[in-house]
Structure 1
Amino acid sequence: MTAETLYGADDLTHLEGLEAVRKRPGMYIGSTDSRGINHLFSEIVDNSTDEGVAGHASKIVVTLHADGSVQVDDDGRGIPTDVHAKSGLSGVELVLTKLHAGGKFGGSGYKTSGGLHGVGASAVNALSHRFDVTVRRGGKVHEMSFAHGVPGVFDGPGPKAKFTRQGGLNVVGKMKRNESTGTSIRYWYDARYFENGASLDVEAVRMKLRNTAFLVPGVTYVLRTALEDTISEEVFHYPNGLTDMVEFLAPSGDRAVSGTLVITGSGTYFENAADENGVMRSKVERQAEVEVALRWGTGYERTVECFTNTIRNMHGGTHRRGFDRAVLKAIQDAISKTRGLLKPKEEMPTLDDVLEGMTAVIHVRIPEPQFTSQTKDELSTAGITKVLQGIVDQQIRAWTEDRKTKVEAKTVLQKVVDASRVRLTQKQQKDAARRKTALEGAAMPAKLVDCRTTGVSRSELFLVEGDSALGSARMARVSEYQALLPLRGKILNVQKASLADTLRNAEIASIVQVLGAGTGRTFDISQMRYGRVILMADADVDGSHIRTLLITLFAKYMRPVIEDGRLYAAMPPLHKVMTRGRNPETHFTFTQREMEQKVAQLEKAGKQVVTPVPRFKGLGEMDADELWETTMNPATRSVRRITMDDAEAAEEALELLMGEKVEPRRNWLVESAARVDQSAIDL
């Protein structure tokens, strides 16, 4: 027999009803990990939210029971309980057992809604051990239960009770006086359809309810977490809507540059859609309602959240594209119209510059939105881009031009321009300072004042603080074996930074290039171009900090230099003690105490000391002869060799003093305060 004859109609499988959901749950709920379990919850609570959006519900209560079940109660109209003419089923059984059934397919049930595919509640039902629904409607209380989507009755509480198949909606009593209508759903999801270890993320539930409360300010959301003995309750209600949401989402400690700008409006767009008979019609007019809230802060983080009919679109979509285009164009035009913001030939800021420090929420309400998947992570309705772009562009322009907000707007425009300049500067630095492999093979920096010798036995590289000291050092040095590399300011604290950030730092990149031995694990001391490296910084607090930063760099990325005893710190003097008379003397001292002792000694010997005693504020104040004699002459200078006799203790000290954790450093400073010699402090 051939392969063709072996394959017949009996080999085809037709999955009916909810069987398809149970067979391929990921197709309907996005995934079978914890996100899928949370999606079940979202489908149920979104149905209740749609009642709130339509103005029929004011309170939604979510209860997480100790047995793992989830319950959602609302005070809406209640799922219709009358019999559906075409199917012969009650409205409750229809929406909970049939795919693509519901009141959100262009009928009069909802103007806009979060649930669009008619799959949500029935998918939850299909994947649950037990699914109970109670509907309060028409003065009666109706109840119905399901097991994996099959209607029936349980003879007791919980999913382990005996189940008997039975169709139909049961009336179990009358509504109490003053009791509100509404729907109550409780389900126990079946863990067999999900990956091992998957569970409901309570924090995600909390975030879902909080976000929705921001988006539907007329509805109060309550989260009850029921443990064995206690019930905790959280209430989410935000009457100011998106304004409250922006304030909540803004990074902690981020001072606002602008007030919260609220943008609202509506517009129309056209799309192809099917009518009630399933016939496709072209250019069907749709109405969109847009609400956006945004503010700029002093920080660098950006937070832009997107929602469609209260559903969070994690990956944005067409409404986000419209927002980005509008805010970029409006801000760019405002900058070009404002004198003094941009310099001639300066580049116009990009979208990244405009969004820096922004916190924004975008919410659109549209009928029958289209998404890229059942999980609704990305809006794909094409027409909404132009609608949102027009509304946002118009109102941001008005904000930048209004007399009442013009000053505030100019502050934002200046922030955007500054962000652009920083970005361009960083790009230039990144282009100049290549990655490690490029650095090692690159040409020497132009600012290097190299020596003539090619060997390493006598050669010395002075890392000099500042360009001012470079002038004196250049004249003082012995050009045969002493090289100079000036450093501008303080280098990056590499104990806190990544290797990538370290190599992007221009000063560090220069040091790596000049030494020519690499960094990190690939550092090869045999390739180092100099016999000694001497850190030459001012004899003040800033100089000490610069030496510490440089020592940290060598300890982390070029440790063999220290281990081989080839890293030194120069000891420039602080004072120049001079005497008057026939045989004037000059003495250099390195501390306040040493200076005072020297003065006392000279005066005791009958010498007249020049007062006040000159103090060197920096290396640049010494002339070439003084710098040579005190700091650079191997015969007369004093230097300190940097060692790592106890590598473990040194590593701990560097991490304590230069690392990311602030609290241990603060504690150490407080505890060590008594050890400071007050008289030795350079005041």
Structure 2
Amino acid sequence: MTALTTDFHDPEEYSARHLSVLEGLEAVRKRPGMYIGSTDSRGLTHCMWEIIDNSVDEALAGHCTRIDVVLHADGSVEVRDNGRGIPVDVEPRTGLSGVELVMTKLHAGGKFGSGSYTASGGLHGVGASVVNALSARLDVEVDRQGHTHAMSFRRGIPGVFDGPGPDADFTPRSGLEQVRRIARKVTGTRVRFWADRQIFLKEADVARESLLDRARQTAFLIPGLTISVRDERTEGEDPYEEEFRFDGGISEFCTYLAPDQAVSPILRFEGSGQFTETVPVLDEQGHMTPTDVERRLDVDVALRWGTGYDTTVRSFVNVIATPKGGTHLAGFERALVRVVNDQLRSTKLLKANDDPVTKEDVLEGLTAVITVRLPEPQFEGQTKEILGTSAASRIVSQVVGRELRAFLTSAKRAEKQQARAVLEKIVNAAKARLAARQQRETQRRKNALENSALPAKLVDCRSEGLDRSELFIVEGDSALGTAKLARDSEFQALLPIRGKILNVQKASVADMLKNAECAAILQVIGAGSGRTFDLDAARYGRVILMADADVDGAHIRCLLLTLFYRYMRPMLEAGRVFAAVPPLHRIELTNVRRKRGARARDRYIYTYSDAELHRKLLELEKQGISWKEPVQRYKGLGEMDADQLAETTMDPRHRMLRRIRVEQAEEAASVFELLMGNEVAPRRAFIAQGARELDLARIDT
């Protein structure tokens, strides 16, 4: 680490001699927060877990079955394990024993290559050496090769203490000592350290409850591992002891975390996947060379749905908790949502027109433990709270998707009932979410009505659901009168406009806002305009343009669509703008036999163009069916009776709507500019050319 001093006012006086270089563990003592986060109780607990995690890595590799943690009365912390023991032989390049190397050199350890640990929590090689640097005294004993080897350090410097405790006289000296003979089969490591009060705050201490919680968690994650915690800081009382061992692994962990009654049993999803990663590898010459390495990622997930509403999801990488998730959690959630939606569609619990369930619906009442194991995972930062290995998302998604689909589609009677219960719970969660949203929308619409002066000519609806409500923009006051009688006042609102509104493609924003009709439309929809338009704030689920079926009606629709395209485009992009399709003609049949229960509307046939009328009359003539002459032609919406308007144009059971879409934005923009813009010459040329190419059958008049 290089430190820069900046208290020089004359640039000429600032030279290389003013740069200081912190060697070895000196950098750790100078900036402890960079390595352990803080110097309070959290930092001290972090140091303890750096040592414990080394033992946990031995357990992960299958070499350790017991870890003992002792909180001594003098404030020291001791960690013992029965793993392989830290190597005691001499490392050739440094001439130091393995114990002294890992305790005094940053980024030294057995977790960088591929031979010692296939999955490890400590990846940066700074854990033990950082704890050593921040300890007033650290003693380490290693059982290995038939001997117990011992070594002590003060603030990272190896040496010998002439008595117990950190205040004993200290003589610096390098080297590992053999202190006694033991059986060759006995192996393990014992580390005891006293925190340096020059670094840590006086009140810094290890909280027993946090230690117990994490020890319990670690025992859940490594089945068969025993973790013992002993707290001797109990003045006048017997030491507190607790031991954890869970042979059921994360299945037991999931049961322990679950706060409610079960809807499904504990589901266990296991699998693995391969991926290629480019990493720097140390070659024989000591150079770091980028190399493609084949990696294996193991996935183990336990989950269950319960009757409650809270979600409890814990994710881990090589037993390291990732409270902020990462790629493995993203893959898990994506697989859940995809598979559940597919199964809901196939079982008809979701209809074709129903919205898919969301992540929140699927996670409601879910308790899950997600663990992945892989060599050298990539984390975002030393705190290791977020996994960044990109391949984890794909592999976890594949494993969870395959296993969950097998459960949901199982033919076994018990699993079939359990799967049905899970799917029904998720559907009910989606319904509750939609009901809550409708309630919020209702309150928002009420507030809008209370707090803003909506146009007096607006005939609003009573609907409390945004998804169902419709706003009809009606041409003319005469049509409004009929539409009032024809509408369903529960969910259909009406806004009349007078004739042709302003062409907003030509006009400025100020002119558009001054126009009474345009301003009324914006105000009633209530979601703003232009860049500030908020689709979620729109007061109606659908906007339906209802104009006469003639040239003037088509012109009015074009002007209205121009307004939506320019200032409320998200409504078009979301497919929430429609054009009503009123009929042009009504044929009244005169010789249709009256059947019992026949409806009056069965005597009428509606057609929507002259060509369709001619075809229909020919068909009726061939069938020998007569009709009343002359055939009624509607010159406008106002000529219809309320029953006729409801039946043909407004009743969702019988009407026909055209959804207005914007599939190609650039092409749409050029067409709007051509037809509605300021340039007259291109429009004249377009009309002249189109007149020769026009198919008369396409005209709806």
| Fold agreement, TM-score > 0.5 | yes
Amino acid at match of 2:432: V
Residue of structure 2 equivalent to 1:419: 429
Determine the structure 1 residue equivalent to 2:228: 222
Displacement of 1:179 in angstroms is 7.3
Distance 1:428 1:198 in 2: 51
Contact 1:39 1:375 in 2 (8 A): no
CA, structure 1 residues 434+214, in 2 after alignment: closer, same or farther (shift >3 Å)? same
Segments of structure 1 that go 5 or more residues without pairing to the other structure are: 448-683
Residue 141 (structure 1) shift: 0.7
Q: Contact conserved, 1:30 with 1:374, CA < 8 A, in 2? A: no
| Partner AA of 1:148 in structure 2 | R
Distance 2:461 2:198 in 1: 67
2:38 alignment partner in structure 1? 31
Change (3 A) 1:443 1:41: farther
Q: Aligned to 2:323, what secondary structure does the other structure show? A: coil
The number of residue pairs the alignment matches comes to 444
The one-character-per-residue Cα deviations of 1:121-168 (angstroms, maximum 9, x if unpaired) are 111111111111011111101111111111111121111222221111
1:109 aligns with 2:119: no
* 1:101 CA drift (Å): 0.3
Q: Counterparts of 1:235 and 1:300 in 2: how far apart (Å)?
A: 32
Q: For 1:406, which of 398, 403, 416 is the aligned residue?
A: 416
Q: CA deviation at 1:332?
A: 1.1
- SS class of match (1:42): helix
- What secondary structure does 2:396 align onto? helix
Check whether the contact 2:147–2:184 (CA below 8 A) recurs between aligned residues.
no
Q: Does structure 2 conserve the Cα–Cα contact (< 8 Å) formed by 1:62 and 1:70? A: yes
Q: How does 1:434-453 map to 2 (within 5 A)?
A: 434=444, 441=451
2:401 alignment counterpart: 393
Q: Distance in 2 between matches of 1:164 and 1:326?
A: 60
Contact 1:433 1:439 in 2 (8 A): no
Per-residue CA distance 1:510-541 (angstroms, 9 max, x = gap):
xxxxxxxxxxxxxxxxxxxxxxxxxxxxxxxx
**Native 8 Å contact 2:146 2:184 kept in 1:** no
Per the alignment, do residues 299 and 350 of structure 1 end up closer, same or farther by CA in structure 2, a change over 3 Å counting? same
Cα deviation code 1:167-207 (max 9, x no counterpart): 111111111x5873100001111244245644322211111
C-alpha displacement of 1:108:
1.6
Structure 1 position 438, deviation (Å):
6.8
Match of 1:384 among 382, 387, 392: 392
**Does the 8 Å contact 2:270/2:299 carry over to 1?**
yes
Q: Deviations over 1:240-279 (max 9, x none)?
A: 101000001111xx10000011011111112210122243
Distance in 2 (CA, whole Å) between partners of 1:295 and 1:398 is 15
Which residue matches 2:326? 317
Q: Which residue of 1 aligns with 2:382?
A: 374
Shift of 1:440: 6.8
Q: Which amino acid aligns with 2:20?
A: T
> Taking structure 1 as reference, are residues 169 and 390 closer, same or farther at Cα in structure 2, changes over 3 Å only?
same
Q: 281, 293, 301: which one pairs with 1:275?
A: 281
Query: Given that residues 267 and 287 in structure 1 are in contact (C-alpha distance below 8 angstroms), is that contact kept between their aligned partners in structure 2?
Result: yes
Which structure 2 residues correspond to residues 585-604 of structure 1 after superposition, within 5 A?
none
CA RMSD of aligned residues (A): 2.3
Q: 1:73 to 1:406 in 2, by over 3 A?
A: same
User: Take 1:436 and 1:282, find their aligned partners in 2: how far apart are those partners?
Assistant: 64
The amino acid that maps onto 2:322 is N
Note the 1:477-516 alignment, pairs <5 A: none
Does the CA-based 8 Å contact 2:274-2:296 persist in structure 1?
A: yes
Give the drift of 1:280: 3.9
User: TM-score when scaled to structure 2?
Assistant: 0.61
Unaligned runs of 5+ in 2: 1-7, 455-459, 463-701
CA distance in structure 2 between the partners assigned to 1:116 and 1:41 by the alignment: 16
Q: What does residue 327 of structure 1 align with?
A: 336
The match for 2:168 is 161
Aligned match of 2:107:
100
Q: What pairs up with 1:455-534 in 2 under 5 angstroms?
A: none
Offset of residue 435 of structure 1: 11
C-alpha distance in 2, partners of 1:79/1:269? 31
Please tell me the residue identity of whatever aligns with 2:336. V
Superposed counterparts of 1:182-221, under 5 Å: 182-195=188-201, 197-221=203-227
1:262 to 263, 268, 290: 268
The AA in structure 2 aligned to 1:104 is K
Q: Is the 8 A contact 1:61 1:72 kept in 2?
A: yes
Distance 2:43 2:110 in 1: 24
Q: Which position in structure 2 is the counterpart of 1:84?
A: 91
Aligned: 1:292 with 2:310: no
Give the letter for the 2:390 counterpart: A
Number of the residue aligned with 1:56: 63
Matched residue SS, 1:43: helix
Alpha-carbon displacement from aligned partner over 1:594-621 (angstroms, at most 9, x marks no partner): xxxxxxxxxxxxxxxxxxxxxxxxxxxx
Normalised by the length of structure 1, the TM-score is 0.62
Query: How far off its partner does 1:330 sit?
Result: 1.0
Cα distance in structure 2, aligned partners of 1:217 and 1:29:
29
Aligned to 1:42: 49
Equivalent residues in 2 for 1:296-311 (5 A)?
296-311=305-320
Aligned pairs (5 A) from 1:238-257: 238-251=246-259, 254-257=260-263
Would the alpha carbon gap of residues 282 and 337 (structure 1) be closer, same or farther in structure 2, given more than 3 Å must change?
Answer: farther
Take 2:388 and 2:31, find their aligned partners in 1: how far apart are those partners?
24
Per the alignment, residue 371 of structure 2 pairs with 363
Deviation at residue 383 of structure 1 after TM alignment: 1.4
Structure 1 residue 67, shift from structure 2 partner? 1.5
SS at match of 1:275: strand
4+ runs of 1 displaced by more than 6 Å?
Answer: 435-440, 442-447
Partner letter of residue 441 of structure 2?
D
Render the CA deviation track for 1:650-677: whole Å, top value 9, x for unaligned: xxxxxxxxxxxxxxxxxxxxxxxxxxxx
